[in-house]
Structure 1
């Protein structure tokens, strides 16, 4: 009976050591993945992410403090230095960005958008999506859409209304 307990103890120790080894490998892989994600965020800007999906950088004001982008799902959040009020070209509609803008960015489409409002017809409306259609951008406000030339959004606006190059 003592021999069986000794064998069982040795097997338990081996299993325990294997589990510890697997845990350490898993922790190392997670640390490397997080480091890679941080490096990506350091080398790419929110404006670069927009451009990579076919959008002009001027869709965001120049006050981006940080952003997060999940490459597999397309989910993003952009954090500004604070709330940002601008004038949207070409019709000079007042617009307001919340401190945080969220949505889902895929090739040619920003959907599930929150954090951007525009004032039209004496009322504030939330922009819920933006589509890129060649030289045009289609802004979605619920079921209603408005189409504008994308060149109107080549420069990132300053908070307060004027334009600033996004370079």
Structure 2
């Protein structure tokens, strides 16, 4: 009986720590809705979000995916990979210090380091370079393409 109570106590403690890290247990919907509150479309994150956390003071966030992800980004069909953990700093209309998303362009892999929402467009930053795309291309959250990414 004592072992059962100990196990139950540990289980409750574990569940409490999870709920305090993410007040809404529906991480998929919450992480995507969180993007919208900062002025971004939900399609910037794939559908396999397992957990997310955000520091409301600093804007630092972490999104944990159920696994690495490979997908094709519209409109130019660039191949993108998402690491199992994507981190960055988010404020209204700007994501900075982004880590965990790479895109293949011009026969090379590039890390997306930031994203800005500018009117009806999204501006993707790759170091000193940037590219602008219509935000409507990211209205739907894309599913991963089955194969694990090599990022």
> TM class, shorter-chain normalised?
0.7 to 0.9
Who is 2:128 aligned against? Answer: 143
User: Which of residues 33, 37, 40 is equivalent to 2:23?
Assistant: 40
Deviation of 1:48 (Å): 1.1
Query: Take 2:22 and 2:66, find their aligned partners in 1: how far apart are those partners?
Result: 22
Aligned counterpart in structure 2 of residue 50 of structure 1, from 13, 17, 35: 35
Tell whether the 8 Å contact from 1:41 to 1:68 is kept in structure 2 after alignment: no
| Native 8 Å contact 1:113 1:129 kept in 2 | yes
Aligned pairs, how many? 128
When normalised by structure 1's length, the TM-score is: 0.72
TM-score, normalised via structure 2 length: 0.80
What's the secondary structure of 1:41's corresponding residue? coil
Q: Whose helix fraction is larger, Structure 1's or Structure 2's?
A: 1
The counterpart of 2:71, out of the listed 77, 86, 98, is 86
Judged with a 3 Å threshold, the aligned counterparts in structure 2 of structure 1 residues 93 and 109 are, in CA distance, closer, same or farther, namely same
| Structure of larger gyration radius | 1
Gaps of 5+ in 1: 1-33, 162-167
Residue of structure 2 aligned with 1:59, choices 21, 44, 47? 44
Indicate the residue corresponding to 1:74 in structure 2. Answer: 59
- Deviation string 1:26-83 (CA, Å, 9 cap, x unpaired) is xxxxxxxx79845633367111110000000000000000001111110000000110
Distance 1:38 1:101 in 2: 16
**Structure 1 ranges of 4+ moved more than 6 A:** none
Q: Secondary structure at the match of 1:131?
A: strand
Query: What CA RMSD, in Å, does the superposition of the two structures yield over aligned residues?
Result: 1.8
SS in 1 for 2:24: helix
How far off its partner does 1:111 sit? 0.2
